[in-house]
Structure 1
Amino acid sequence: MSDNDKPKLGMRAPLGVRRTVETGKVKQSFSHGRSNTVIVETKKARTFRKPGDPAPAHEPEVEAATPAVVAAPEPAPIAQPAPVRPPVQQRPMTPLERREQQERLLREADEARMNSLEEARRREERNARDASEEERRRADESRRAADDEAQRLVAEQAAVVAEPEAQAAEPAAAPVPTTVAAAPEAVPTEEAPRPAGSVVPPPRRFTPVVAPKRPEPPVRPARGRVGDDRRQSGKLTVTRALDEGDGGARARSLAALKRSREKDKRAHQSGPSAKQVRDVQVPEAITVAELANRMAERTSDLVKALFKMGTPVTSNQTIDQDTAELLVSEFGHNIRRVSESDIDIQTETDVDETETLKSRPPVVTIMGHVDHGKTSLLDALRGTDIASGEAGGITQHIGAYQVTQKDGSKITFLDTPGHEAFSEMRARGADVTDIVVIVVAGDDGIRPQTIEAINHTKAAGKPMIVAINKMDKPGSNAQRVREALLQYDVQVESMGGDTQEVQVSATAKTGLDELIEKIQIQAELMELTANPDREAEGVVIEAQLDKGRGPVATIIVRRGTLKTGDIFVVGAESGKVRALLDDKGKPIKSAGPSLPVEILGMSGVPQAADQLTVVENEARAREVAAYRASVIQQRRTTQAPASLESMFSSLRAKQAQQYPVVVKADAQGSVEAIVSSLNKISTDDIQVRILHSGVGGITESDVTLAAASRAPIIGFNVRANAKAREIATRDGVALKYYDVIYDLLDEIRAAMAGQLGPEYFETVVGRAEVREVFSAGKHGKAAGLLVTEGYIKKDLRARLTREDVIIYNGKIASLRRFKDDVAEVRAGLECGITIEGSTDVKPGDFLETFEVEERARTL
């Protein structure tokens, strides 16, 4: 069949089933008068039916072909083409019609665009609404699924728990039927009669358990109880929810558990918590941050409160005690005012009980004039030779030693220097000692330092024993010493007094036993006791900076027991006992009362005579040390003249020349002695200014400090390191090393005199009275004089006075007697002179001539 014979779409005869495609035409209109016709096909669902079934009511009957013979379809008739209409002749449009048509088309386009935009907006809103509904639906489904799953798990858990109970309740002999047929007999139930021919459903394998009633939520345990880990548990899971409660039979859903937990959390947050009232210690000055820390409040709250009071401050600024009290009261706390002095340790009020006191060895100080044999006497007592190690044969430091006697008793000796520069050290020795032994040489007698030692001993209220030494030396006279002591109010026992005296010889070692015996007798009379079972307290005898060990101090324990590891504060320094060394250099674990030891572990070198106190912790030690350092700094910077006289002396001191020096020594006592001696040699014309003084070797910083003021560096028993020597050579800083204090003072005195320069002394050699004044041409004026005293020479310096007021000071240019030039005119003669650069000469003036002599200055 050709293409022309094919029937058109929709013209084919139906076969056995109903046609599912229907056709139609739709006309489309476009802008500018355009249009189009579109053929639309409508498809319907194909329905299959069995033969003999009635057709649905809404479906028309279709004639079915006979099952025997199927008639062949007849060929469709050929469609005749439609007659072609002649085109309609359109008249041309006028300009007005064309403009109206354009406006109409534009209006229609705008309306179409607006309609399309509105349709797009509606479509977006519809899609968003559908999406939100879809999300809500999914969330509901997820929540329902979670609830169903929780209910199922709870039911299964309950069934598992109930099954062992049911088995335990049944008799042990009755077997449990397991067949399907026996199940209805085991559980008899009344059933409705079933219709005939119905299929019997299989029996259930287990008895359904009714879900238990939802239990009431248990009382929430108090915070902090054992097992209450809600705050630390994190995410709440089904297993954790089932484990909570009694026996795990809790049937609450996850959502209910979350709601309950949020409710409890809100209840705890909403309830007002009880404010904790604190006792706040407020010193005289405190920072805002520190006050907030003591009050357990936020710093920002304190800053806001101060701002409302009209005091805008920051957290690091310091406020006074009154302002701090207002803040503490504002926040509802209790204030406890303390002064800065309360921070320091008060040892005066700490008194030991009588029953805790035990006997202790005496502390004996050896005093006397230089070179009277103090150290030699101590060497004889100790059986050692210490004097040979001292530079120049004199003692530069305080030495502390403990000597054990034959009977087991112990005596602690302090050896103090005898030179006048160490008077302060001797004064400290008298303060810490129990008994003073004053050594007097039998051949030399009472000397200035001996008198000073006697005065220190009396001021300290200590008993003294006079040891007359060098009795083996020819010329020694003990009786003369006893008589010389009387003028200083010291009366020995042999002359009816109460002061013990003994004749000894350190070199011959005679009289030593008698001296020890007298010391023991005096100690027994004093009944020296201390409490060893308490925190230790002691006094610094000497301190120095050791290169390998750091700061080292010699301590005498007054009471208590000092142990390794104790935390202490000494003066303005703090530390922890790292090691204890006895007088022989051996390490020990503890030191009792009256025992001299060296301690290591301090933060810095303390001052001699500083008090050492053991405290409870490092924070307390640092607090006390910081307070003492601030007091020392304040005293140094705010010291004012005590009187009008001291004020004028300070003004004179500012006018005097300054001699700056840097002092470094091996021990703190030596530093103090050198500084004191240098201050004593200062005069009204020149004064020593100590730029820096310290213990230890000379370092680069010392040289840099000295170079800024062109000052020499004094090293006493110390040396400069290589770097310091290099810088000193480069900057021209003088390094002066000494090991004997005599040489040090002599050279510094000479250097100070050299800085002042030579002295000039004026000597008046003649006086004359001006009788007449003459004109001398180019020389100005000539004066006729009558020499009244001495003589007048040419080229001498002259001074012209009028009514005791100096009006000229210069030289005599020429000297004549009559018309001749002469070199000298003596008293009683007349002469004429001319004076350089002066014409103000009148009769009645006086002329005075003088000579100036230059001499080397000495201090």
Structure 2
Amino acid sequence: MIRQPIITVMGHVDHGKTTLLDKIRSSAIASKEAGRITQHIGASEVPLSVINEICKDIPNFSSSNMKIPGLLFIDTPGHEAFTNLRRRGGSIADMAIVVVDITQGFQPQTIEAINILKEYKTPFVVAANKIDLLTGWMSNKTRSFQVSYGKQSKTVQDLLDNKLYELVGRFGELGFNSELYSRVSNFQNELAIVPVSAKTGEGIAELLMVVSGLSQRFLELKLNIEVNGPAKGSILEKKEIKGLGTTLDVIIYDGTLHINDQIAFADSNNEVNTTKVKALLKPKPMHEIGASASKFYYVDSVSAASGIKISAVGIEDAMPGSPIIAVTGNDDYKNIIKSEMADIFKTDNAGIILKADSIGSLEAISKLMSSENFRISKKGIGNVNKRDIMDAFSMYGTDPLYAVIIAFNVSIDNDAEEEAKTSGVKIISENVIYKLIDSYKEFVNLRTTAKKKEAEDRITFPSKIEVIAGDCFRVSHPAIFGIKVETGRIKPGFIMINDSGIVVGKIKGIQNEKQPLQEAKRGDEIAMSMDEPTYGRQIQDNQILYTRVTKEMQFLLQNEFSYLLNDDDKKTLEEIIRIMNKNSTNR
């Protein structure tokens, strides 16, 4: 049997995700003559007959070759729903709709959604929402963008085209080829952008047409299911319902689940639990789902793809995002679930600590952190506690950049907060993944820059200077004379040697136009003072002097700090090493 594809809706806050889902539902309900929408737990099913009715206004639309029975839209929009709908290797969501406010363009959560979809290799289309807010747009009583667009003035059409090409440009910056859906020549290589108004319904027809068409064309094999096989699903949410207690909202993507089936899932301690299904509940037709048992009706079984509420004993610790499977006699269910969970909780020997609100969030952040080459030493679900602080503190010895806790959508215990202040552990807490990753990047950059600055402050750079002839201001105590920096950089405190490797003295100060300097670089002509030498004896006109670079510093400059040297600096270092080795041999 071919099941309906599972579609999630993602995008930035206030860009119209929920309004779009509501409009799709209301459009389907209005098409009563073609069939009613079916409401699931956490999902709404729009049958193919309803899609046909909604799309009838689109010129040349035909669904004669469609084999999918309809579309199953996840009612909970956002990355949380997408990432919690997981199975090994990716998401059970077959496709996503990324909603972008055409008047505002890309926002932080837009990029977050796109990055998550990219990591999970999930196909998506773009709903360019709020076309009704474009200056001069005249809304029409049609669900077809194509029909409404044809009735707009040339000025409005041009404005829309400009906005669309701004989106095309932004997608290009992220490495995607995109185009208005009607201009796409290859849907495998180009993102389809569908202009819509979630408020008026214009464009809903084309959006459903594109999503169902792409599902039919590219996902048909993936949508094949074994209806009579054991159920496989994913926990979307855990809820308290009056009259039922703790319940699980589950999306079933394969097989059939029955009352009294034994089910297995992972708990908050990453242990595998089993229980017997006491009840399967669906919302009453077109009823607003509330927190009361009276809002639901009981069913004996449910087949993929569908959303269902499960009532059972011992599910209080079930983790959102956990796989859930019906246990049969021959199943090694513990190893199946543990194997899948092992991928999520896999860690590095050294790295930051990650705490998140669900398995799905944990996995999504782990994928994005890995793509940035950041390492994670510990992962967990729930609040940041004192033990997490101690574990992060232990990373100081390995790398101070790892003494960090990344906290997504979770609280920080009071004693943990106090411990972090005294130990110096950095806690980065956000409820937007995009900001979380960026905040850690910023932290790393700031710390790395500070570390480089600290390194530069204690490094003796390989430098060569020339004494400017006839430019002596004082002969001795201290000798003050003019020099030109030929290569490298010099600072007060550097010890200078001559071309025989003999120490001439230590730089007491450097100045330009009687103003003290902290540093002089290649090409600078300045005055330099030294206590030890006498001009005319140890210091001569046109003499070449070098910074003395110790054996330890030579090793550091050739290895850890080699990135600080350019080609000329490296040649000067080789020259200094030869001079110092020659002087050592002569002794």
1:594 to partner: Cα distance: 1.3
- 2:379 equivalent to 1:693: yes
- Aligned equivalent of 1:664, options 349, 355, 358: 355
Distance 1:661 1:632, change over 3 A: closer
TM-score (norm 2): 0.52
- 2:548 equivalent to 1:834: no
Unaligned runs of 5+ in 2: 28-40, 51-68, 136-155, 284-288, 397-402, 549-587
Alignment of 1:416-455 (within 5 A): 417=78, 432-443=92-103, 453=114
Contact residue 446 and residue 485 of structure 1 kept, 8 A = no
Distance 1:372 1:749, change over 3 A: same
Alignment of 1:233-632 (within 5 A): 357=1, 360-367=3-10, 372-382=15-25, 400-403=42-45, 411-414=71-74, 417=78, 432-443=92-103, 453=114, 465-474=125-134, 477-480=159-162, 490=178, 494-495=182-183, 497=185, 502-513=194-205, 515-516=207-208, 519=211, 530-538=225-233, 540=234, 555-568=250-263, 573=272, 575-576=274-275, 578=277, 584=289, 589=299, 590-597=301-308, 612-617=324-329, 620-625=332-337
Letter in 2 for 1:697: N
**Alpha-carbon distance between aligned partners in 1 of 2:201 and 2:251, rounded to the nearest angstrom:** 28
Letter in 2 for 1:557: I
Q: Classify the secondary structure of the residue corresponding to 1:535.
A: coil
1:805 to partner: Cα distance: 8.1
**Alpha-carbon distance between aligned partners in 2 of 1:427 and 1:621, rounded to the nearest angstrom:** 14
Query: Could you say which residue in structure 1 is the equivalent of 2:545?
Result: 846
Letter in 2 for 1:695: I
**Alpha-carbon distance between aligned partners in 2 of 1:778 and 1:550, rounded to the nearest angstrom:** 91
1:505 to partner: Cα distance: 1.0
1:593 to partner: Cα distance: 0.7
Letter in 2 for 1:693: K
Q: Classify the secondary structure of the residue corresponding to 1:472.
A: helix
Identity of aligned residues (%): 21
Letter in 2 for 1:401: A
1:474 to partner: Cα distance: 2.3
Contact residue 353 and residue 406 of structure 2 kept, 8 A = yes
1:471 to partner: Cα distance: 0.5
1:771 to partner: Cα distance: 8.0
Q: Classify the secondary structure of the residue corresponding to 1:378.
A: helix
Distance 1:787 1:728, change over 3 A: closer
1:695 to partner: Cα distance: 1.6
Q: Classify the secondary structure of the residue corresponding to 1:672.
A: helix
1:472 to partner: Cα distance: 1.1
**Alpha-carbon distance between aligned partners in 2 of 1:767 and 1:605, rounded to the nearest angstrom:** 71
Q: Deviations over 1:510-539 (max 9, x none)?
A: 33355446555666777765443221123x
Distance 1:736 1:406, change over 3 A: same
Letter in 2 for 1:511: G
The count of residues paired between Structure 1 and Structure 2 equals 432
Q: Deviations over 1:195-243 (max 9, x none)?
A: xxxxxxxxxxxxxxxxxxxxxxxxxxxxxxxxxxxxxxxxxxxxxxxxx
Letter in 1 for 2:258: K
Contact residue 551 and residue 605 of structure 1 kept, 8 A = no
Q: Classify the secondary structure of the residue corresponding to 2:362.
A: helix
- The Cα RMSD (Å) is 6.3
1:796 to partner: Cα distance: 3.6
Q: Deviations over 1:762-815 (max 9, x none)?
A: 79999432889x9x9997xx878553469xxx9944452545989689432799
Contact residue 558 and residue 593 of structure 1 kept, 8 A = yes
Query: Could you say which residue in structure 2 is the equivalent of 1:811?
Result: 507
Q: Deviations over 1:635-660 (max 9, x none)?
A: 868x9xxxxxxxxxxxxxxxxxx8x6
Larger Rg: 1
Distance 1:713 1:550, change over 3 A: farther
Letter in 1 for 2:3: R
**Alpha-carbon distance between aligned partners in 2 of 1:451 and 1:739, rounded to the nearest angstrom:** 12
- 2:411 equivalent to 1:719: yes
Distance 1:829 1:737, change over 3 A: closer
Distance 1:666 1:833, change over 3 A: closer
1:377 to partner: Cα distance: 1.9
Contact residue 119 and residue 367 of structure 2 kept, 8 A = no
- 2:480 equivalent to 1:769: no
Distance 1:766 1:603, change over 3 A: same
Contact residue 717 and residue 738 of structure 1 kept, 8 A = yes
Letter in 1 for 2:307: P
Alignment of 1:773-788 (within 5 A): 787-788=483-484
**Alpha-carbon distance between aligned partners in 2 of 1:592 and 1:461, rounded to the nearest angstrom:** 23
Distance 1:620 1:377, change over 3 A: same
**Alpha-carbon distance between aligned partners in 2 of 1:694 and 1:537, rounded to the nearest angstrom:** 24
**Alpha-carbon distance between aligned partners in 2 of 1:828 and 1:529, rounded to the nearest angstrom:** 78
Higher mean C-alpha displacement, 664-673 vs 731-740: 731-740
Query: Could you say which residue in structure 2 is the equivalent of 1:302?
Result: none
Unaligned runs of 5+ in 1: 1-356, 385-398, 640-657, 683-687, 816-820, 850-859
**Alpha-carbon distance between aligned partners in 1 of 2:527 and 2:390, rounded to the nearest angstrom:** 66
Q: Classify the secondary structure of the residue corresponding to 2:332.
A: helix
Q: Classify the secondary structure of the residue corresponding to 1:719.
A: coil
Query: Could you say which residue in structure 2 is the equivalent of 1:6?
Result: none
**Alpha-carbon distance between aligned partners in 2 of 1:831 and 1:622, rounded to the nearest angstrom:** 75
Contact residue 812 and residue 833 of structure 1 kept, 8 A = yes
Contact residue 95 and residue 122 of structure 2 kept, 8 A = no
Letter in 2 for 1:719: S
